[in-house]
Structure 1
Protein backbone atom coordinates (compact mmCIF):
# COMPACT_ATOMS: atom_id res chain seq x y z
CA UNK A 1 0.00 0.00 0.00
CA UNK A 2 2.80 2.35 0.91
CA UNK A 3 4.51 1.57 -2.41
CA UNK A 4 1.28 2.27 -4.30
CA UNK A 5 0.83 5.62 -2.58
CA UNK A 6 4.45 6.50 -3.33
CA UNK A 7 4.02 5.60 -6.98
CA UNK A 8 0.83 7.66 -7.18
CA UNK A 9 2.58 10.64 -5.62
CA UNK A 10 5.45 10.33 -8.08
CA UNK A 11 3.04 10.25 -11.02
CA UNK A 12 1.15 13.27 -9.65
CA UNK A 13 4.35 15.27 -9.24
CA UNK A 14 5.51 14.27 -12.72
CA UNK A 15 2.21 15.43 -14.25
CA UNK A 16 2.37 18.71 -12.32
CA UNK A 17 5.95 19.28 -13.47
CA UNK A 18 5.01 18.51 -17.07
CA UNK A 19 2.19 21.05 -16.91
CA UNK A 20 4.28 23.82 -15.33
CA UNK A 21 4.17 26.76 -17.77
CA UNK A 22 7.06 28.70 -19.21
CA UNK A 23 6.17 32.23 -18.14
CA UNK A 24 6.97 35.05 -20.55
CA UNK A 25 6.72 38.74 -19.77
CA UNK A 26 5.02 40.88 -22.42
CA UNK A 27 5.39 44.66 -22.29
CA UNK A 28 2.14 46.54 -22.85
CA UNK A 29 4.13 49.04 -24.94
CA UNK A 30 4.65 46.52 -27.76
CA UNK A 31 2.58 46.90 -30.92
CA UNK A 32 2.23 45.03 -34.19
CA UNK A 33 4.02 43.48 -35.90
CA UNK A 34 5.70 42.57 -32.60
CA UNK A 35 2.53 41.59 -30.71
CA UNK A 36 -1.21 41.89 -31.25
CA UNK A 37 -3.22 42.20 -28.02
CA UNK A 38 -6.82 41.00 -27.96
CA UNK A 39 -8.91 40.95 -24.78
CA UNK A 40 -5.84 41.34 -22.64
CA UNK A 41 -3.72 38.63 -24.18
CA UNK A 42 -1.28 38.33 -27.09
CA UNK A 43 -2.63 36.44 -30.09
CA UNK A 44 -0.12 36.95 -32.90
CA UNK A 45 2.98 38.84 -33.94
CA UNK A 46 6.72 38.26 -34.29
CA UNK A 47 7.44 38.03 -30.57
CA UNK A 48 4.28 36.06 -29.80
CA UNK A 49 5.19 33.45 -32.41
CA UNK A 50 8.82 33.22 -31.27
CA UNK A 51 7.85 32.74 -27.63
CA UNK A 52 5.08 30.26 -28.42
CA UNK A 53 7.40 28.19 -30.62
CA UNK A 54 10.11 28.28 -27.95
CA UNK A 55 7.75 26.98 -25.27
CA UNK A 56 6.41 24.27 -27.57
CA UNK A 57 9.88 23.03 -28.48
CA UNK A 58 10.97 23.10 -24.84
CA UNK A 59 7.90 21.02 -24.01
CA UNK A 60 6.10 23.49 -21.74
CA UNK A 61 2.85 25.44 -22.19
CA UNK A 62 3.43 29.15 -22.79
CA UNK A 63 2.00 31.60 -20.27
CA UNK A 64 2.06 35.33 -21.06
CA UNK A 65 2.12 38.03 -18.38
CA UNK A 66 1.29 41.48 -19.78
CA UNK A 67 2.86 44.24 -17.69
CA UNK A 68 3.73 47.93 -17.96
CA UNK A 69 7.34 48.29 -19.01
CA UNK A 70 8.28 49.84 -15.65
CA UNK A 71 7.17 46.66 -13.83
CA UNK A 72 8.86 44.13 -16.11
CA UNK A 73 12.21 43.80 -14.32
CA UNK A 74 10.55 43.77 -10.91
CA UNK A 75 8.46 40.79 -12.04
CA UNK A 76 11.63 39.01 -13.17
CA UNK A 77 13.39 39.77 -9.88
CA UNK A 78 10.49 38.37 -7.85
CA UNK A 79 10.22 35.15 -9.85
CA UNK A 80 6.80 35.98 -11.31
CA UNK A 81 8.04 35.33 -14.85
CA UNK A 82 10.86 33.28 -16.33
CA UNK A 83 11.81 34.72 -19.73
CA UNK A 84 12.05 38.23 -21.11
CA UNK A 85 12.60 38.77 -24.84
CA UNK A 86 13.25 41.69 -27.17
CA UNK A 87 15.77 43.32 -24.87
CA UNK A 88 19.37 44.48 -25.25
CA UNK A 89 22.15 43.97 -22.74
CA UNK A 90 22.97 47.67 -23.15
CA UNK A 91 19.54 48.50 -21.65
CA UNK A 92 20.38 46.60 -18.48
CA UNK A 93 24.11 47.15 -17.80
CA UNK A 94 23.74 46.37 -14.09
CA UNK A 95 21.70 43.19 -14.41
CA UNK A 96 22.68 40.69 -11.72
CA UNK A 97 24.16 37.26 -12.32
CA UNK A 98 20.77 35.69 -11.61
CA UNK A 99 19.99 35.76 -15.34
CA UNK A 100 21.52 34.18 -18.44
CA UNK A 101 21.38 35.79 -21.88
CA UNK A 102 20.56 34.12 -25.15
CA UNK A 103 22.48 34.72 -28.35
CA UNK A 104 21.38 37.89 -30.21
CA UNK A 105 18.18 37.04 -32.09
CA UNK A 106 16.95 40.24 -33.77
CA UNK A 107 18.12 43.71 -34.74
CA UNK A 108 16.09 46.72 -33.65
CA UNK A 109 16.45 49.73 -35.91
CA UNK A 110 15.09 52.92 -34.37
CA UNK A 111 14.29 55.65 -36.89
CA UNK A 112 13.36 59.31 -36.70
CA UNK A 113 10.04 59.53 -38.54
CA UNK A 114 8.31 62.45 -40.20
CA UNK A 115 5.10 62.97 -42.15
CA UNK A 116 5.04 62.84 -45.94
CA UNK A 117 6.70 65.99 -47.27
CA UNK A 118 9.26 66.19 -44.46
CA UNK A 119 12.91 66.63 -45.34
CA UNK A 120 14.34 63.46 -46.81
CA UNK A 121 17.27 63.52 -44.39
CA UNK A 122 17.44 65.10 -40.92
CA UNK A 123 20.21 65.34 -38.36
CA UNK A 124 18.47 65.28 -34.95
CA UNK A 125 21.23 67.45 -33.47
CA UNK A 126 20.32 70.22 -35.95
CA UNK A 127 16.63 70.32 -35.05
CA UNK A 128 15.34 73.45 -33.31
CA UNK A 129 13.81 73.07 -29.86
CA UNK A 130 10.68 70.93 -30.10
CA UNK A 131 8.88 67.85 -28.80
CA UNK A 132 9.21 64.49 -30.52
CA UNK A 133 7.11 61.37 -30.12
CA UNK A 134 8.54 58.67 -27.87
CA UNK A 135 7.33 55.61 -25.97
CA UNK A 136 7.03 55.87 -22.19
CA UNK A 137 9.86 54.03 -20.49
CA UNK A 138 11.91 53.52 -23.65
CA UNK A 139 15.57 54.54 -23.70
CA UNK A 140 17.00 56.47 -26.67
CA UNK A 141 20.75 56.68 -25.94
CA UNK A 142 21.75 58.72 -28.98
CA UNK A 143 18.99 61.27 -28.35
CA UNK A 144 19.45 61.49 -24.59
CA UNK A 145 22.07 64.31 -24.79
CA UNK A 146 19.53 66.37 -26.76
CA UNK A 147 16.86 65.66 -24.12
CA UNK A 148 19.29 66.59 -21.34
CA UNK A 149 20.10 69.88 -23.08
CA UNK A 150 16.37 70.67 -23.48
CA UNK A 151 16.85 70.92 -27.22
CA UNK A 152 14.38 68.10 -27.75
CA UNK A 153 11.56 67.12 -25.42
CA UNK A 154 9.94 63.72 -25.07
CA UNK A 155 6.23 63.45 -25.77
CA UNK A 156 5.53 59.98 -24.39
CA UNK A 157 2.73 57.65 -25.48
CA UNK A 158 1.87 54.24 -24.06
CA UNK A 159 3.00 52.24 -27.08
CA UNK A 160 4.68 52.58 -30.45
CA UNK A 161 1.46 52.62 -32.47
CA UNK A 162 0.06 55.52 -30.43
CA UNK A 163 3.27 57.46 -31.10
CA UNK A 164 2.77 57.11 -34.84
CA UNK A 165 -0.94 57.93 -34.64
CA UNK A 166 -0.10 61.19 -32.86
CA UNK A 167 2.52 62.00 -35.49
CA UNK A 168 0.01 61.35 -38.27
CA UNK A 169 -2.46 63.66 -36.51
CA UNK A 170 0.13 66.45 -36.40
CA UNK A 171 0.76 66.49 -32.65
CA UNK A 172 4.47 66.87 -33.38
CA UNK A 173 6.72 67.01 -36.44
CA UNK A 174 8.89 63.99 -35.67
CA UNK A 175 8.73 60.76 -33.70
CA UNK A 176 10.92 57.73 -33.04
CA UNK A 177 9.79 54.30 -34.25
CA UNK A 178 11.37 50.96 -35.00
CA UNK A 179 11.45 49.97 -38.66
CA UNK A 180 8.98 47.08 -38.37
CA UNK A 181 6.27 49.10 -36.63
CA UNK A 182 6.63 51.90 -39.16
CA UNK A 183 6.27 49.51 -42.09
CA UNK A 184 3.26 47.81 -40.46
CA UNK A 185 1.60 51.16 -39.69
CA UNK A 186 2.10 52.42 -43.25
CA UNK A 187 0.34 49.39 -44.76
CA UNK A 188 -3.06 50.82 -43.85
CA UNK A 189 -2.37 54.31 -45.24
CA UNK A 190 -2.62 55.71 -48.74
CA UNK A 191 0.79 56.40 -50.31
CA UNK A 192 0.40 60.17 -49.87
CA UNK A 193 -0.33 59.70 -46.15
CA UNK A 194 2.46 57.32 -45.29
CA UNK A 195 5.04 58.32 -42.72
CA UNK A 196 8.68 58.28 -43.73
CA UNK A 197 12.06 57.72 -42.16
CA UNK A 198 14.34 60.77 -42.08
CA UNK A 199 17.23 59.45 -39.96
CA UNK A 200 18.59 56.29 -38.38
CA UNK A 201 18.62 56.97 -34.65
CA UNK A 202 20.03 53.75 -33.26
CA UNK A 203 20.59 50.14 -34.24
CA UNK A 204 21.24 47.32 -31.81
CA UNK A 205 20.97 43.58 -31.34
CA UNK A 206 18.29 42.24 -29.01
CA UNK A 207 17.63 38.81 -27.57
CA UNK A 208 16.15 37.12 -24.51
CA UNK A 209 17.35 36.44 -21.00
CA UNK A 210 16.22 33.71 -18.65
CA UNK A 211 15.91 33.61 -14.88
CA UNK A 212 18.62 31.28 -13.57
CA UNK A 213 16.46 29.08 -11.36
CA UNK A 214 16.62 25.28 -10.85
CA UNK A 215 12.89 25.13 -11.65
CA UNK A 216 13.49 26.66 -15.08
CA UNK A 217 15.12 24.56 -17.85
CA UNK A 218 17.56 27.37 -18.63
CA UNK A 219 20.02 25.52 -20.85
CA UNK A 220 17.25 23.83 -22.82
CA UNK A 221 15.67 27.24 -23.44
CA UNK A 222 18.96 28.78 -24.56
CA UNK A 223 19.80 25.83 -26.83
CA UNK A 224 16.35 26.02 -28.40
CA UNK A 225 16.67 29.75 -29.09
CA UNK A 226 20.06 29.14 -30.69
CA UNK A 227 18.57 26.39 -32.87
CA UNK A 228 15.65 28.62 -33.86
CA UNK A 229 18.08 31.34 -34.92
CA UNK A 230 20.54 29.09 -36.75
CA UNK A 231 17.81 27.13 -38.57
CA UNK A 232 16.26 30.28 -39.99
CA UNK A 233 12.99 29.82 -38.08
CA UNK A 234 13.17 33.28 -36.51
CA UNK A 235 13.85 34.91 -39.88
CA UNK A 236 10.89 32.98 -41.32
CA UNK A 237 8.63 34.38 -38.57
CA UNK A 238 9.86 37.90 -39.32
CA UNK A 239 9.27 37.37 -43.04
CA UNK A 240 5.71 36.23 -42.32
CA UNK A 241 4.83 39.62 -40.82
CA UNK A 242 7.13 42.01 -42.68
CA UNK A 243 7.80 40.43 -46.06
CA UNK A 244 11.55 40.28 -45.43
CA UNK A 245 13.86 38.89 -42.73
CA UNK A 246 15.22 42.33 -41.83
CA UNK A 247 16.83 41.10 -38.64
CA UNK A 248 19.90 39.32 -39.93
CA UNK A 249 22.82 39.56 -37.56
Structure 2
Protein backbone atom coordinates (compact mmCIF):
# COMPACT_ATOMS: atom_id res chain seq x y z
CA UNK A 1 0.00 0.00 0.00
CA UNK A 2 2.82 2.37 0.89
CA UNK A 3 4.47 1.64 -2.43
CA UNK A 4 1.23 2.39 -4.28
CA UNK A 5 0.77 5.68 -2.42
CA UNK A 6 4.37 6.65 -3.17
CA UNK A 7 3.85 5.88 -6.86
CA UNK A 8 0.64 7.93 -6.94
CA UNK A 9 2.38 10.87 -5.25
CA UNK A 10 5.27 10.62 -7.70
CA UNK A 11 2.87 10.50 -10.65
CA UNK A 12 0.90 13.51 -9.38
CA UNK A 13 4.06 15.53 -8.79
CA UNK A 14 5.40 14.58 -12.19
CA UNK A 15 2.09 15.53 -13.89
CA UNK A 16 2.08 18.94 -12.24
CA UNK A 17 5.68 19.54 -13.21
CA UNK A 18 4.86 18.82 -16.84
CA UNK A 19 2.41 21.72 -16.96
CA UNK A 20 4.07 25.07 -17.65
CA UNK A 21 3.57 27.77 -15.04
CA UNK A 22 1.66 30.95 -15.88
CA UNK A 23 2.25 33.89 -13.55
CA UNK A 24 -0.87 35.97 -12.84
CA UNK A 25 -0.77 39.31 -11.04
CA UNK A 26 -3.18 39.95 -8.17
CA UNK A 27 -3.61 43.47 -6.79
CA UNK A 28 -3.57 43.46 -3.01
CA UNK A 29 -6.16 46.26 -3.08
CA UNK A 30 -8.74 43.83 -4.49
CA UNK A 31 -11.42 42.64 -2.12
CA UNK A 32 -14.49 40.55 -2.67
CA UNK A 33 -16.09 39.98 -5.05
CA UNK A 34 -12.89 40.35 -7.11
CA UNK A 35 -10.67 38.25 -4.85
CA UNK A 36 -10.27 37.14 -1.25
CA UNK A 37 -6.64 36.84 -0.23
CA UNK A 38 -5.42 34.59 2.57
CA UNK A 39 -1.77 34.06 3.42
CA UNK A 40 -0.63 36.15 0.45
CA UNK A 41 -2.63 34.00 -1.98
CA UNK A 42 -6.10 34.45 -3.55
CA UNK A 43 -8.54 31.71 -2.57
CA UNK A 44 -11.81 32.80 -4.18
CA UNK A 45 -13.44 35.61 -6.12
CA UNK A 46 -14.54 36.69 -9.56
CA UNK A 47 -11.09 37.48 -10.99
CA UNK A 48 -9.58 34.45 -9.24
CA UNK A 49 -12.17 32.19 -10.91
CA UNK A 50 -11.52 33.88 -14.26
CA UNK A 51 -7.77 33.27 -14.03
CA UNK A 52 -8.28 29.66 -12.91
CA UNK A 53 -10.58 29.07 -15.88
CA UNK A 54 -8.03 30.58 -18.27
CA UNK A 55 -5.32 28.28 -16.96
CA UNK A 56 -7.52 25.20 -17.33
CA UNK A 57 -8.43 26.13 -20.90
CA UNK A 58 -4.81 26.06 -22.04
CA UNK A 59 -3.48 23.40 -19.67
CA UNK A 60 -1.11 25.49 -17.58
CA UNK A 61 -0.55 25.75 -13.83
CA UNK A 62 -1.48 29.19 -12.44
CA UNK A 63 0.89 30.96 -10.08
CA UNK A 64 -0.46 34.04 -8.32
CA UNK A 65 1.72 37.02 -7.44
CA UNK A 66 0.02 39.36 -4.97
CA UNK A 67 1.44 42.88 -5.03
CA UNK A 68 0.60 46.51 -4.44
CA UNK A 69 -1.19 48.14 -7.36
CA UNK A 70 1.63 50.66 -7.74
CA UNK A 71 4.06 47.77 -8.36
CA UNK A 72 2.05 46.18 -11.17
CA UNK A 73 3.59 48.23 -13.96
CA UNK A 74 7.08 47.58 -12.63
CA UNK A 75 6.35 43.83 -12.55
CA UNK A 76 5.17 43.96 -16.16
CA UNK A 77 8.23 45.90 -17.30
CA UNK A 78 10.65 43.56 -15.53
CA UNK A 79 8.99 40.37 -16.84
CA UNK A 80 7.88 39.16 -13.41
CA UNK A 81 4.28 38.42 -14.50
CA UNK A 82 2.72 36.86 -17.59
CA UNK A 83 -0.96 37.84 -17.29
CA UNK A 84 -2.70 40.85 -15.80
CA UNK A 85 -6.50 40.80 -15.67
CA UNK A 86 -9.23 43.23 -14.70
CA UNK A 87 -7.49 46.07 -16.50
CA UNK A 88 -8.57 48.75 -18.99
CA UNK A 89 -6.82 50.32 -21.97
CA UNK A 90 -7.92 53.68 -20.51
CA UNK A 91 -5.49 53.19 -17.61
CA UNK A 92 -2.41 53.41 -19.85
CA UNK A 93 -0.94 56.42 -21.61
CA UNK A 94 1.23 54.19 -23.80
CA UNK A 95 0.56 50.72 -25.18
CA UNK A 96 2.59 48.18 -23.17
CA UNK A 97 4.99 46.83 -25.76
CA UNK A 98 5.49 43.30 -24.43
CA UNK A 99 1.81 42.57 -23.77
CA UNK A 100 -1.18 41.79 -25.99
CA UNK A 101 -4.72 42.85 -25.07
CA UNK A 102 -7.59 40.40 -24.88
CA UNK A 103 -11.09 41.20 -26.06
CA UNK A 104 -13.20 43.22 -23.57
CA UNK A 105 -14.54 40.83 -20.91
CA UNK A 106 -16.35 42.85 -18.23
CA UNK A 107 -18.01 46.26 -18.35
CA UNK A 108 -17.25 48.25 -15.21
CA UNK A 109 -18.78 51.41 -13.80
CA UNK A 110 -17.05 53.63 -11.25
CA UNK A 111 -19.67 55.24 -9.04
CA UNK A 112 -19.95 58.17 -6.68
CA UNK A 113 -21.42 56.65 -3.53
CA UNK A 114 -23.07 58.02 -0.39
CA UNK A 115 -25.05 56.83 2.61
CA UNK A 116 -28.82 56.42 2.52
CA UNK A 117 -30.52 59.75 3.16
CA UNK A 118 -27.23 61.63 3.43
CA UNK A 119 -27.32 63.17 -0.06
CA UNK A 120 -29.31 62.97 -3.27
CA UNK A 121 -28.03 61.89 -6.70
CA UNK A 122 -25.80 64.63 -8.09
CA UNK A 123 -22.90 65.14 -10.50
CA UNK A 124 -19.53 65.46 -8.75
CA UNK A 125 -19.16 69.10 -9.83
CA UNK A 126 -21.94 69.98 -7.37
CA UNK A 127 -20.19 68.44 -4.36
CA UNK A 128 -19.13 70.94 -1.70
CA UNK A 129 -15.42 70.99 -0.76
CA UNK A 130 -14.64 67.82 1.19
CA UNK A 131 -12.54 64.67 1.53
CA UNK A 132 -13.64 61.76 -0.64
CA UNK A 133 -12.94 58.07 -0.13
CA UNK A 134 -10.57 56.61 -2.74
CA UNK A 135 -8.33 53.57 -3.22
CA UNK A 136 -4.57 54.04 -2.94
CA UNK A 137 -2.93 53.95 -6.36
CA UNK A 138 -6.17 54.31 -8.33
CA UNK A 139 -6.70 57.20 -10.72
CA UNK A 140 -10.09 58.87 -11.18
CA UNK A 141 -10.05 60.89 -14.38
CA UNK A 142 -13.48 62.46 -13.86
CA UNK A 143 -12.58 63.70 -10.38
CA UNK A 144 -9.02 64.79 -11.18
CA UNK A 145 -9.91 68.38 -12.16
CA UNK A 146 -11.75 68.81 -8.84
CA UNK A 147 -8.78 67.31 -6.98
CA UNK A 148 -6.38 69.62 -8.82
CA UNK A 149 -8.51 72.62 -7.84
CA UNK A 150 -8.51 71.55 -4.19
CA UNK A 151 -12.29 71.26 -4.11
CA UNK A 152 -11.97 67.57 -3.31
CA UNK A 153 -9.27 65.83 -1.26
CA UNK A 154 -8.42 62.16 -1.54
CA UNK A 155 -8.64 59.99 1.56
CA UNK A 156 -6.92 56.84 0.38
CA UNK A 157 -7.42 53.34 1.74
CA UNK A 158 -5.55 50.19 0.76
CA UNK A 159 -8.65 48.40 -0.54
CA UNK A 160 -12.09 49.10 -1.97
CA UNK A 161 -13.71 47.35 1.00
CA UNK A 162 -12.02 49.70 3.46
CA UNK A 163 -13.22 52.69 1.43
CA UNK A 164 -16.84 51.51 1.73
CA UNK A 165 -16.52 50.60 5.42
CA UNK A 166 -15.18 54.06 6.23
CA UNK A 167 -18.01 55.67 4.26
CA UNK A 168 -20.59 53.68 6.17
CA UNK A 169 -18.89 54.60 9.46
CA UNK A 170 -19.12 58.31 8.59
CA UNK A 171 -15.42 59.03 8.04
CA UNK A 172 -16.47 60.99 4.97
CA UNK A 173 -19.75 61.69 3.16
CA UNK A 174 -18.84 60.42 -0.30
CA UNK A 175 -16.59 57.80 -1.87
CA UNK A 176 -15.81 56.16 -5.19
CA UNK A 177 -16.52 52.46 -5.77
CA UNK A 178 -16.79 50.13 -8.71
CA UNK A 179 -20.29 48.76 -9.16
CA UNK A 180 -19.47 45.11 -8.44
CA UNK A 181 -17.82 45.91 -5.10
CA UNK A 182 -20.73 48.13 -4.09
CA UNK A 183 -23.26 45.40 -4.94
CA UNK A 184 -21.26 42.84 -2.94
CA UNK A 185 -20.94 45.16 0.05
CA UNK A 186 -24.66 46.01 0.09
CA UNK A 187 -25.71 42.34 0.02
CA UNK A 188 -24.55 41.99 3.62
CA UNK A 189 -26.23 45.18 4.84
CA UNK A 190 -29.80 45.81 6.03
CA UNK A 191 -31.81 48.09 3.75
CA UNK A 192 -31.34 51.16 5.94
CA UNK A 193 -27.55 50.69 5.96
CA UNK A 194 -26.98 50.07 2.26
CA UNK A 195 -24.89 52.62 0.40
CA UNK A 196 -26.45 54.36 -2.59
CA UNK A 197 -25.22 55.34 -6.03
CA UNK A 198 -25.23 59.11 -6.58
CA UNK A 199 -23.57 59.35 -10.01
CA UNK A 200 -21.81 57.28 -12.65
CA UNK A 201 -18.30 58.72 -12.88
CA UNK A 202 -16.69 56.53 -15.52
CA UNK A 203 -17.35 53.37 -17.52
CA UNK A 204 -14.66 51.05 -18.85
CA UNK A 205 -14.40 47.74 -20.63
CA UNK A 206 -11.99 45.52 -18.74
CA UNK A 207 -9.99 42.62 -20.07
CA UNK A 208 -6.66 40.84 -19.66
CA UNK A 209 -3.14 41.54 -20.88
CA UNK A 210 -0.95 38.57 -21.85
CA UNK A 211 2.81 38.68 -22.28
CA UNK A 212 3.80 38.23 -25.90
CA UNK A 213 6.46 35.59 -25.25
CA UNK A 214 7.08 32.29 -27.10
CA UNK A 215 7.57 30.60 -23.74
CA UNK A 216 3.87 30.96 -22.89
CA UNK A 217 0.70 30.15 -24.91
CA UNK A 218 -0.18 33.79 -25.62
CA UNK A 219 -2.49 33.19 -28.57
CA UNK A 220 -4.03 30.14 -26.91
CA UNK A 221 -4.98 32.27 -23.89
CA UNK A 222 -6.47 35.00 -26.05
CA UNK A 223 -8.54 32.44 -28.00
CA UNK A 224 -9.63 30.83 -24.73
CA UNK A 225 -11.00 34.16 -23.52
CA UNK A 226 -12.95 34.58 -26.76
CA UNK A 227 -14.51 31.13 -26.25
CA UNK A 228 -15.31 31.89 -22.61
CA UNK A 229 -16.95 35.18 -23.54
CA UNK A 230 -19.00 33.70 -26.40
CA UNK A 231 -20.14 30.69 -24.34
CA UNK A 232 -21.42 32.90 -21.51
CA UNK A 233 -18.91 31.50 -19.00
CA UNK A 234 -17.59 34.93 -18.07
CA UNK A 235 -21.10 36.28 -17.52
CA UNK A 236 -21.84 33.27 -15.30
CA UNK A 237 -18.74 34.01 -13.23
CA UNK A 238 -19.86 37.62 -12.81
CA UNK A 239 -23.35 36.54 -11.75
CA UNK A 240 -21.87 34.01 -9.31
CA UNK A 241 -20.49 36.93 -7.34
CA UNK A 242 -23.59 39.08 -7.22
CA UNK A 243 -23.38 40.83 -10.56
CA UNK A 244 -27.14 40.63 -11.12
CA UNK A 245 -28.30 43.33 -13.49
CA UNK A 246 -24.72 44.37 -14.10
CA UNK A 247 -25.47 45.34 -17.65
CA UNK A 248 -28.54 47.38 -16.77
CA UNK A 249 -28.67 51.14 -16.98
CA UNK A 250 -28.45 53.18 -13.76
CA UNK A 251 -30.73 56.20 -13.61
CA UNK A 252 -28.60 58.59 -11.57
CA UNK A 253 -26.78 61.84 -12.23
CA UNK A 254 -23.88 61.79 -14.66
CA UNK A 255 -21.02 64.28 -14.86
TM-score by length of 2: 0.88
**2:131 alignment counterpart:** 131
**Per-residue deviation at 1:186?**
1.1
Separation (CA, whole Å) in 2 of partners of 1:129 and 1:112 = 15
The whole-number CA distance in structure 1 between the counterparts of 2:142 and 2:115 is: 22
Runs of 4+ with deviation above 6 angstroms: 14-17
For residue 245 of structure 1, report the CA deviation from its aligned partner: 6.0
The yes-or-no answer on 1:79 pairing with 2:85 is no
Where does the alignment leave 5 or more consecutive residues of structure 1 unmatched?
1-13
Match of residue 54 from structure 1 = 54
Alignment of 1:85-100 (within 5 A): 85-100=85-100
| C-alpha displacement of 1:20 | 2.1
SS in structure 1 of the partner of residue 203 of structure 2: strand
Alignment of 1:145-156 (within 5 A): 145-156=145-156
Q: Give 5+ residue unaligned stretches, structure 2.
A: 1-13, 249-255
Compute the RMSD of aligned alpha carbons. 1.6
Kindly state the Cα deviation for residue 18 of structure 1 after the two structures are TM-superposed.
Answer: 3.2
1:143 aligns with 2:143: yes
Structure 2 Cα separation of the partners of residues 243 and 156 of structure 1? 25
Please tell me whether the aligned partners of residues 83 and 210 of structure 1 are also in contact (alpha carbons under 8 angstroms): yes
1:5 corresponding residue in structure 2: none
Query: Counterpart of 1:160?
Result: 160
Equivalent position of 1:214 in the other structure: 214
Aligned to 1:3: none
Instruction: Determine the C-alpha separation between the residues in 2 that align with 1:230 and 1:245.
Output: 19
Counterpart of 2:252 in structure 1 is: none
TM-score by length of 1: 0.90
| Structure-1 residue corresponding to 2:65 | 65
Decide whether aligned partners of structure 1 residues 144 and 95 sit closer, same or farther in structure 2, where only a CA change above 3 A counts.
Answer: same
* Post-superposition offset of 1:87: 0.6
Deviation at 1:15, TM superposition (A): 7.2
Aligned length: 235
* Rounded Cα–Cα distance in structure 2 between residues aligned with 1:164 and 1:118: 15
**In the TM superposition, what is the alpha-carbon distance from 1:152 to its structure 2 partner?**
0.6
Q: Secondary structure at the match of 2:26?
A: strand
Counterpart secondary structure, 2:192: coil
Contact 1:235/1:247 (8 A) holds in 2:
no
